[in-house]
Chain A
């Protein structure tokens, strides 16, 4: 259908639209109009992706000079592919409606591992191996060497692409990862480089967060993207952690050892080159004297996105004399490594700020701040000069040099923690130096500064005001949308007590309490008897899960549960977990019924959807607080309090509740789905916890469903499940995304939670829609 969103003609590829989608598009349009940033929360399964795509594509067509590019960032490869498929549907609709051929180029970009078509390279199993191998075949100096020595191996796809591919741009269309591969195979061009090259002129790019947020990758891939782009971060509830991870460095003794080896290799290579080709080193020296002028020019003309690892000052200055020659630099690195080694040789925990660290290093080994700052850039230049093929081998020394640059550049927002052993194994010495970023805004700042609109969206972003604070930006729109439902298909319940009235909580003081564990067990047992097919239970941590399960085993609870359902457990091992998941789904499918015990913040809680019968109930045992004894966390909390005036407790609760919401949100993946959400901890009933749940869950959490006993929960659940099952004969098993073939006999939903064009244009519906968006 064609919609009129405040004067903008939007093609929407379905015959029906949810009211909240309309409302979402309205807000989005206002954000784009204002050329500002936005934070939008809308529950999963309500068609967020298609609303985003249709509106932004329409905007692009209407104002081609205002918005030139859409950059859509998602988390995982399957999600990326799903987005591209939606986009394809939209494009087909466009060409059907307008009758003209589309000139929009949209493509997905992923790592070499997912895009490589070289028969040998693509068969490698790990991403790193693929990258390394690819590099050894396609690096520029390797290819230069090949001119003199044609017997060296090469990648014919890259050669072909380099020779032909750059002249003709990729024809317009929608390219998923597989399409790119097919295209590459047909033409004999390397799909990865083709995609990387094509993103410069593509209208829509779909790729992973890291291409924008991780400074190392962003510098390679995304720095030339146009300023007039709209950036969308989907599933962005964890975006602050992604930012922090991309800026943090952990150095262990192993890293140091490997760097040591790297330095040795460098030294040898330098010696060799000196004998054969001293001119090259001289040339490099000359370049370094002149400074990194080219980069500076580029930045001034605003072609590139700035890189947080490469601070502005560096560009204006020449590389300091002490590390200008190759030998001196290697010597410098050696000294730095020795210093780090000495620092790791400790028996107690040390925590210090970056300036303290710099002062210490100056006193001990006379390393100044300035050369440290140039470390990363200097190393890169050296590696280029020395023509080292296998970059993967030098990851350790690159890491160290990045650390050196970061520590000397940022005096605020980072902390250095040196721990002599891990918390879990206090007897085994395993010193680690955490250089930890505490301010997610450092990594994301260039993105906000460079692009005119950045949209942060997810199913669970509540409380909405905290994201702008921790990411340090000013949004023009902040809104949360609820699901309009023809039937109440989600049933959140807070279970606070057992039948014996003992409070249920995973609070630290009582978590070992026998009565609490027994009550948790009883809850699981009772639920296993009344919930059909699949139940997913989340614990707060692996250790807690292990303790509880062991105790349940002793009490015979597990045995009783197993009479009703099979039990599967998530483990930190990915292979084991995916095996368990597979079997779990099989058991749900054939009527045996199963329970999956997993961990909040684990793999299951983030990436896996439990559609329909795979998750009829989610039980959240306890409040998933992050491990508060960790020093990194403590430092971060302190920083948040000092810099952003966010109290520790607020942040911890916020973090716990967003993970809890993520976990329980796994069960509902659309309006036709239904599921119980059981919060098994009395603390959820408190206003500060409840208030931080997303609005679409809060809405259904009435006073009557708070602080229940197990018995009451069972009765309510039974009632709910029957009520929901009542309309099952209408429910065809439909894909979550395709709400076009809505079941629940469409007439029931029509007009209430599903609108046709005519209904949408009616006056009172527009008023209703205005209420959906909740301005935070």
Chain B
């Protein structure tokens, strides 16, 4: 109770049958099954990245957030909207961390219409600001799947064929108010190879099932907040590219701030007398925002257009501009760390401690790295696969001699 002072009071919450969670259940077997499934799903994220699959590394993703009346429901604390926005914020950060050369846009839908919160862009900051602002907005009316999808489609259909086009819908309502037959739109989406995934906040809705099945996306319904988070994180990993997506050689330019011999990125300093604030190309387009004048920035090596943020496609000459760390960070998707082998603890008499955290192994199963045979606990296994992407023990042994 002390840890979460902001949480709603017990009596404000909905009716919950808390005692049933504690039930040792022999007859129903449901609870156990679901937990088993959840655990499997946790592991699945690790497993699925296996094999040499072509991944759509350059992603263009629109996140559609339902902000209809149903988002005021308090089954997620404090309510669905706040909880969702917070998780999406986290998702955006995580997304750019894992997919640095990808872009995200956010659409909200309420009162039977859809609005663009942010355009497709590669900078997390802007999105997060917009999301923070959206927390104060009110929810109302009904969402419209049709309108949000067609809005997303208008932008996505112009994206190059080698990038993956995706829409992720966070759908709280059980109904949608559409101006036309949505199944026609689904056909168009399918033709345009736009993948639509849905995370439902309340229950399975038929139209979403069809939508995701047709477009090749996934459809999940959350059980609770932690499950919600997991489902969102599931979308952080780049999806396998469809076999029909184009293969094209793209010219990409790495921009460095150093060494000074390649002064594409110049940071104006006080000592630099010649420095003048200038407009960034990106700011010329956007009507909103500040004055758009800035001192530093990246300059396209081909046409000298200036950009304040990367990655971006040059507005003038169409060159893809990235920085080296961006690409490096996408690299691990191509050579994922192999899954560790799960085995019951009893078989490991020699190993008493986790190789990574040095904590005592207590869970009923442990995980072994197939290449260096080090033993890890569940938590470390997840951490290694989700964040580090390399086995600490392997690296250690390699660098030692």
Tell whether, in the assembled complex, residue B219 and residue A532 are in contact, meaning their CB atoms are under 8 Å apart: no
Quick one: CB contact mask for A651-688 with B, threshold 8 Å, 1 for yes? 00000000000000000000000000000000000000
Partner of B145, one of A488, A565, A591, A718: A591
A555 CB within 8 Å of chain B:
no
- Minimal Cβ-Cβ distance residue in B for A717: B203
Chain A residues within 8 Å of B28, by CB: 488
- Minimal Cβ-Cβ distance residue in A for B145: A591
Q: A589-B207, A711-B15 are in contact. Are A728 and B221 (CB under 8 A)?
A: yes
Among A28-36, A110-118, A623-631, A719-727, the stretch in contact with B? A719-727
Chain B residues within 8 Å of A733, by CB: 209, 213
Chain B residues within 8 Å of A722, by CB: 202-203, 221-223
- Count A interface residues, CB 8 Å: 38
Instruction: Tell which of A487, A533, A731 has the most Cβ of chain B within 10 Å.
Output: A533
Partner of B221, one of A714, A715, A725: A725
Partner of B205, one of A488, A533, A563: A533
Chain B residues within 8 Å of A616, by CB: 203
Partner of A715, one of B16, B33, B34, B206: B16
Tell whether, in the assembled complex, residue B203 and residue A530 are in contact, meaning their CB atoms are under 8 Å apart: yes
Chain B residues within 8 Å of A728, by CB: 204, 209, 219-221
Tell whether, in the assembled complex, residue B203 and residue A532 are in contact, meaning their CB atoms are under 8 Å apart: yes
- Minimal Cβ-Cβ distance residue in A for B14: A715
Q: A590-B183, A591-B145 are in contact. Are A725 and B175 (CB under 8 A)?
A: no
Chain A residues within 8 Å of B175, by CB: 564-565, 591-593
Chain B residues within 8 Å of A147, by CB: none
Tell whether, in the assembled complex, residue A729 and residue B220 are in contact, meaning their CB atoms are under 8 Å apart: yes
Chain B residues within 8 Å of A564, by CB: 174-175
Chain A residues within 8 Å of B203, by CB: 530-532, 616, 718, 721-722, 724-725
B200 CB within 8 Å of chain A:
yes
Q: A721-B202, A722-B223 are in contact. Are A591 and B30 (CB under 8 A)?
A: no
A754 to chain B, nearest CB (A): 15
Chain B residues within 8 Å of A437, by CB: none
B251 CB within 8 Å of chain A:
no
Quick one: CB contact mask for A689-732 with B, threshold 8 Å, 1 for yes? 00000000000000010000001101110100111111111010
| Cα(A31)–Cα(B213), bound, Å | 46
- Count B interface residues, CB 8 Å: 38
| Cα(A292)–Cα(B205), bound, Å | 67
Tell whether, in the assembled complex, residue B174 and residue A593 are in contact, meaning their CB atoms are under 8 Å apart: yes
A613 CB within 8 Å of chain B:
yes
Q: Which of B172-219 contact A (CB under 8 A)?
A: 174-178, 181-183, 200, 202-209, 213, 218-219
Chain A residues within 8 Å of B220, by CB: 726, 728-729
Q: Which of A130-160 contact B (CB under 8 A)?
A: none
| Cα(A646)–Cα(B207), bound, Å | 50
Chain A residues within 8 Å of B15, by CB: 711-712, 714-715
B364 CB within 8 Å of chain A:
no
B97 CB within 8 Å of chain A:
no
Q: A530-B174, A564-B174, A590-B181 are in contact. Are A723 and B204 (CB under 8 A)?
A: no
Q: A711-B15, A715-B16, A721-B202 are in contact. Are A726 and B37 (CB under 8 A)?
A: yes
B75 CB within 8 Å of chain A:
yes
A588 CB within 8 Å of chain B:
yes
Chain A residues within 8 Å of B37, by CB: 726-727
Instruction: Tell which of A589, A591, A724 has the most Cβ of chain B within 10 Å.
Output: A591
A612 CB within 8 Å of chain B:
yes
Chain B residues within 8 Å of A721, by CB: 202-204, 221
B398 CB within 8 Å of chain A:
no
Tell whether, in the assembled complex, residue A590 and residue B30 are in contact, meaning their CB atoms are under 8 Å apart: no
Quick one: CB contact mask for B206-248 with A, threshold 8 Å, 1 for yes? 1111000100001111110000000000000000000000000
| Cα(A119)–Cα(B175), bound, Å | 47
Chain B residues within 8 Å of A612, by CB: 206
Tell whether, in the assembled complex, residue A591 and residue B178 are in contact, meaning their CB atoms are under 8 Å apart: yes
Partner of A532, one of B75, B206, B223: B206
A273 to chain B, nearest CB (A): 67
Chain A residues within 8 Å of B218, by CB: 729
Quick one: CB contact mask for A578-614 with B, threshold 8 Å, 1 for yes? 0000000000111111000000000000000000110
| Cα(A591)–Cα(B222), bound, Å | 19
Instruction: Tell which of A704, A711, A729 has the most Cβ of chain B within 10 Å.
Output: A729
Q: What is the interface of chain B, defined by CB distance below 8 A to chain A?
A: 14-17, 20, 28, 30, 33-34, 37, 70, 75, 142, 145, 174-178, 181-183, 200, 202-209, 213, 218-223
A-B contacts, 10 of them at CB < 8 A, read A532-B205, A563-B142, A589-B207, A590-B181, A592-B178, A711-B15, A722-B223, A724-B203, A729-B220, A733-B209
Known: A532-B204, A704-B17, A704-B20. 18 other contacts (CB 8 A): A530-B203, A563-B142, A589-B207, A590-B181, A590-B183, A591-B208, A592-B177, A613-B205, A616-B203, A714-B15, A715-B14, A716-B17, A718-B75, A718-B202, A722-B222, A723-B223, A731-B209, A733-B209
Nearest 5 pairs of A and B residues by beta carbon: A591-B207, A725-B221, A613-B206, A725-B204, A721-B203
Q: What is the interface of chain A, defined by CB distance below 8 A to chain B?
A: 486-488, 529-533, 563-565, 588-593, 612-613, 616, 704, 711-712, 714-716, 718, 721-729, 731, 733
